[in-house]
A and B are shown apart, each in its own frame.
Chain A
């Protein structure tokens, strides 16, 4: 095939990054071909090099990185060999970019419309007045509210989802041949994500623009892309048409990208309530964040609390742990009301309610070894010291599928999944009846998430521990819960067994939340679009 058929033809592209006093490969020779108007999804987990590849395909590298080999032909120009000046003429006009965090990627000192039309005006594509008029049309096409005036605003005056759409408008303004979307919806709540996805897809299709869509979420990319390329460790795993990839992936690794969705658990009911939150109100200063929240946690079961940011799900956890005393209502543990303040609770109660955090990185003291981290609760709660303590730590390490080699390691010498396992072991060391899991898998890659969830389920079966599982990820909820609590704006919207909550009919908010979760079906977004018109 000749190069002329492709808008972008990347061959054997290599990118290196400077770290630890040497150049390390990040992208290890990847090919990527894209025709005009085609959308390619780049998918992979953290460290796969997908963002680096997406930028390098534009001829751009971040500070501390360099392109060390290969070629990237775009419209007859090799972006790898082109001079900075040649590339600058293309960037912002023929080749544009939509970044992950719109809030951070807009210059706080300039108005939105100025930033939207900047390159169009600079390159003389159209005069200021025409460019502004066009920007307003684009805002309208992207379903932004008040398209006539929203451009007069500054970035901090606009919400995150709207900013992401303004950024798409900015990328569209010069009518580029290719747009690179770099995780554009990752930072958004699911209900906002749907809106942004809809308007981005419409814009790309209406203008017949080619796009590279980078994400770690296969369900999202399935809606956007014609072709999907899976990356791992800076190399290509496979590439296929979207439908074919979802129906029959060639590689096991690709299948593992949706492994969490494959987990399943039969929900079991129980009347033996270990923890009960009863009519709790709570406030940070004058701002009330929980309104009459009541939740029951049965012994040895998993209750998932789902909601978007600001729903009050993490605050509920803080009330249970005693970090935030409620202004009304109480928390009962095994039938007895818990003192509201952490300081008034006795050691035995503290021992029985343990907590695992979202970021295992910050949940472990970086100056303590694994042995010290797990050993401390053993000594503190059970008085184990010396040899006995060491023996028990190693037993715990084996329970979480690690071994005694880890005893002397520092947290910085562990992978993300291993860190979270150590945190689980620290909670287990206390011999708890309840573990509060606060978004424990959301910072992890899919395959690691699956491992952690399986471990938690096995431990629950063996030790009859109840989990209060706080998350925003519906796939995880569906995989592991017995019961589900849906929260919105500090109130409980719905609660019940998993089968009840996930099956219709739903209260309005649950309906919105559930319908916003992207499904592993390329037609899902189209269906939503039709429903909403």
Chain B
């Protein structure tokens, strides 16, 4: 081959890719997304529509009581009524709004606390880091559901105490992850270069570190949302979470659970408690599918074909 050794820096072939706008790139990635990711996105979109437009979609009110408790499935009450005669189908739709709303608020709060402290600890790396980290170690030694049960027994169950308690417990996990990824970025040469340039702490945090830890944090947000969602559903199912008359899926399962014993007489009635349970499962499946794809993409560690 006749390869001349003539050298030009600008012509040097790197892994030069065509430049595309953010939207073009997103669209190209989306087109390559596996079907599980598409299912995930469809599920999440569906739930969001339900949550936002609940009053328009639901045929009856959230706490509207009808004459017949445990009414069978019918045209009037698509999924029948519950133990005190409320329309289950309508409560299911309102439940999307309440359960997702509370879980989202909790996750945001957890990230605000855990993420903020994690960043500070990662950059500071002194006694403050030691103090928070050891404290978090201790708190994480108590299983979160147990911790939540204990605190709820003290403060009583209400939507607000639920949000604050779960967010606090969950923020320990967020703290650990944020600190770990931020520490990895903080030791990079470009962070050292910024420090040698004389940049302040705020700039280093905002411009050098934060943009580079976003992908794992976004994925973690999805996973933590699932976790929070399941914890709240479990607590409600146990009767110490979201309290009536607010409709939520965990409590709905508990309230109608006894219907399952009549499966041999009315199979449809037996499905009634399973529907809100399935609604909980479906959204976590959706989020998990999406996060799984996102993780594979952003880590670049795709499985070898």
Cα distance A447–B8 when bound, in Å?
Answer: 10
Partner of B10, one of A322, A376, A401, A430: A401
State whether the Cβ of A364 lies closer than 8 Å to any Cβ in chain B: yes
Q: Which A residue sits closest to B187, measured CB to CB?
A: A362
In the complex, are the beta carbons of A421 and B212 less than 8 A apart?
Answer: no
In the complex, are the beta carbons of A366 and B5 less than 8 A apart?
Answer: no
In the complex, how many angstroms separate the beta carbon of B209 from the nearest chain A beta carbon? Answer: 9
Contacts of A447 in B (CB 8 A): 5, 7
In the complex, how many angstroms separate the beta carbon of B211 from the nearest chain A beta carbon? Answer: 4
In the complex, are the beta carbons of A412 and B212 less than 8 A apart?
Answer: no
Query: Which of B103-111, B131-139, B193-201, B229-237 is the contact stretch?
Result: B193-201
In the complex, are the beta carbons of A365 and B195 less than 8 A apart?
Answer: no
In the complex, are the beta carbons of A237 and B3 less than 8 A apart?
Answer: yes
In the complex, are the beta carbons of A412 and B15 less than 8 A apart?
Answer: yes
Q: A342-B196, A365-B211, A380-B198 are contacts. A401–B15 as well, Cβ < 8 Å?
A: no
Q: Which B residue sits closest to A21, measured CB to CB?
A: B32
Chain A interface, number of residues (Cβ within 8 angstroms):
59
Q: Which B residue sits closest to A377, measured CB to CB?
A: B197
State whether the Cβ of A515 lies closer than 8 Å to any Cβ in chain B: no
Chain B interface, number of residues (Cβ within 8 angstroms):
32
Q: Which A residue sits closest to B32, measured CB to CB?
A: A21
User: Which chain B residues in 166-192 approach chain A with CB under 8 Å?
Assistant: 188-190, 192
Contacts of B10 in A (CB 8 A): 401-403, 405-406, 418
Contacts of B4 in A (CB 8 A): 252-253
In the complex, are the beta carbons of A451 and B7 less than 8 A apart?
Answer: yes
In the complex, are the beta carbons of A418 and B190 less than 8 A apart?
Answer: no
Q: A18-B304, A413-B15, A448-B12 are contacts. A342–B195 as well, Cβ < 8 Å?
A: yes
Chain B window 1-20, contacts with chain A (Cβ cutoff 8 Å), 1 for yes, 0 for no: 10111011110111111010
State whether the Cβ of B208 lies closer than 8 Å to any Cβ in chain A: yes
User: Which chain B residues in 190-247 approach chain A with CB under 8 Å?
Assistant: 190, 192-193, 195-199, 207-208, 211-212
Contacts of A377 in B (CB 8 A): 197
In the complex, how many angstroms separate the beta carbon of A244 from the nearest chain B beta carbon? Answer: 19
Contacts of B211 in A (CB 8 A): 365, 367
State whether the Cβ of A415 lies closer than 8 Å to any Cβ in chain B: yes
Contacts of A347 in B (CB 8 A): 198
Contacts of A409 in B (CB 8 A): 19
User: Which chain A residues in 466-510 approach chain B with CB under 8 Å?
Assistant: none
Contacts of A82 in B (CB 8 A): none
In the complex, are the beta carbons of B16 and A413 less than 8 A apart?
Answer: yes
Partner of B14, one of A21, A345, A418: A418
Contacts of B188 in A (CB 8 A): 362
In the complex, how many angstroms separate the beta carbon of A297 from the nearest chain B beta carbon? Answer: 17
In the complex, are the beta carbons of A365 and B198 less than 8 A apart?
Answer: no
Q: Which A residue sits closest to B191, measured CB to CB?
A: A365
State whether the Cβ of A459 lies closer than 8 Å to any Cβ in chain B: no
In the complex, are the beta carbons of B197 and A376 less than 8 A apart?
Answer: yes
State whether the Cβ of A304 lies closer than 8 Å to any Cβ in chain B: no
Contacts of B16 in A (CB 8 A): 413-415
User: Which chain A residues in 237-265 approach chain B with CB under 8 Å?
Assistant: 237, 251-253, 255-256, 259
Contacts of A21 in B (CB 8 A): 32
Contacts of A354 in B (CB 8 A): 196
In the complex, how many angstroms separate the beta carbon of B223 from the nearest chain A beta carbon? Answer: 23
Contacts of A408 in B (CB 8 A): 19
State whether the Cβ of A339 lies closer than 8 Å to any Cβ in chain B: no
Q: A63-B304, A418-B9, A421-B9 are contacts. A367–B212 as well, Cβ < 8 Å?
A: yes
Q: Which A residue sits closest to B192, measured CB to CB?
A: A323
In the complex, are the beta carbons of A417 and B12 less than 8 A apart?
Answer: yes
Partner of A417, one of B9, B190, B197: B9
**Chain B contact surface mostly:** loop
In the complex, are the beta carbons of B14 and A416 less than 8 A apart?
Answer: yes
Partner of B3, one of A251, A402, A421, A426: A251
Cα distance A259–B5 when bound, in Å?
Answer: 10
Q: Which A residue sits closest to B190, measured CB to CB?
A: A365
Q: A252-B4, A401-B9 are contacts. A415–B19 as well, Cβ < 8 Å?
A: no
In the complex, are the beta carbons of A364 and B7 less than 8 A apart?
Answer: no
User: Which chain A residues in 248-292 approach chain B with CB under 8 Å?
Assistant: 251-253, 255-256, 259
User: Which chain B residues in 271-305 approach chain A with CB under 8 Å?
Assistant: 304-305
Partner of B8, one of A237, A253, A367, A401: A401
Contacts of B193 in A (CB 8 A): 355, 357, 363, 426
Cα distance A347–B197 when bound, in Å?
Answer: 8
Chain A window 420-463, contacts with chain B (Cβ cutoff 8 Å), 1 for yes, 0 for no: 01000010001000000000000000011011000100000000
State whether the Cβ of A359 lies closer than 8 Å to any Cβ in chain B: yes
Cα distance A256–B3 when bound, in Å?
Answer: 11
Contacts of A376 in B (CB 8 A): 197
In the complex, how many angstroms separate the beta carbon of B186 from the nearest chain A beta carbon? Answer: 12
In the complex, how many angstroms separate the beta carbon of A517 from the nearest chain B beta carbon? Answer: 24
In the complex, are the beta carbons of A413 and B3 less than 8 A apart?
Answer: no
Cα distance A275–B13 when bound, in Å?
Answer: 38
Q: A401-B9, A447-B5 are contacts. A359–B15 as well, Cβ < 8 Å?
A: no
State whether the Cβ of A321 lies closer than 8 Å to any Cβ in chain B: yes
Q: A64-B304, A359-B189, A409-B19 are contacts. A451–B208 as well, Cβ < 8 Å?
A: no
Q: Which A residue sits closest to B12, measured CB to CB?
A: A415
In the complex, are the beta carbons of B5 and A255 less than 8 A apart?
Answer: yes
Contacts of B17 in A (CB 8 A): 412-413
Q: Which B residue sits closest to A400, measured CB to CB?
A: B9
Contacts of B13 in A (CB 8 A): 415
In the complex, are the beta carbons of A350 and B198 less than 8 A apart?
Answer: yes
State whether the Cβ of A31 lies closer than 8 Å to any Cβ in chain B: no
Cα distance A403–B8 when bound, in Å?
Answer: 12
Q: Which of B9, B14, B305 neighbours the largest number of chain A CB atoms within 10 Å of its CB?
A: B9
In the complex, how many angstroms separate the beta carbon of A278 from the nearest chain B beta carbon? Answer: 21
Q: Which B residue sits closest to A62, measured CB to CB?
A: B304
User: Which chain A residues in 367-381 approach chain B with CB under 8 Å?
Assistant: 367-368, 376-377, 380-381
State whether the Cβ of A390 lies closer than 8 Å to any Cβ in chain B: no
Q: Which of B1, B19, B199 neighbours the largest number of chain A CB atoms within 10 Å of its CB?
A: B1
User: Which chain A residues in 10-67 approach chain B with CB under 8 Å?
Assistant: 18, 21, 63-64
Partner of A363, one of B7, B12, B19, B190: B190
In the complex, how many angstroms separate the beta carbon of B190 from the nearest chain A beta carbon? Answer: 5
Contacts of A366 in B (CB 8 A): 212
Contacts of A323 in B (CB 8 A): 192, 195-196
Q: Which B residue sits closest to A447, measured CB to CB?
A: B7
Contacts of B197 in A (CB 8 A): 350, 376-377, 380-381, 430
Cα distance A172–B190 when bound, in Å?
Answer: 45
Q: A376-B197, A380-B197 are contacts. A402–B192 as well, Cβ < 8 Å?
A: no
Contacts of A403 in B (CB 8 A): 10
**Cross-chain pairs A/B with CB under 8 angstroms, 14 sampled:** A232-B3, A253-B5, A363-B189, A364-B190, A365-B190, A365-B207, A365-B211, A365-B212, A368-B207, A381-B197, A401-B9, A401-B10, A403-B10, A414-B16
| Chain A interfacial positions (CB closer than 8 Å to B) | 18, 21, 63-64, 232, 235-237, 251-253, 255-256, 259, 321-323, 342, 345, 347, 350, 354-355, 357, 359, 362-368, 376-377, 380-381, 400-403, 405-406, 408-409, 412-418, 421, 426, 430, 447-448, 450-451, 455
Given A252-B4, A256-B5, A381-B197, 13 additional A-B pairs, CB 8 A: A63-B304, A64-B305, A256-B7, A350-B198, A354-B196, A355-B196, A363-B193, A365-B208, A402-B10, A408-B19, A414-B16, A415-B13, A451-B9
The 9 A-B residue pairs whose C-beta atoms are closest, nearest first, are: A415-B14, A252-B5, A256-B5, A363-B189, A367-B211, A64-B304, A401-B9, A63-B304, A350-B198
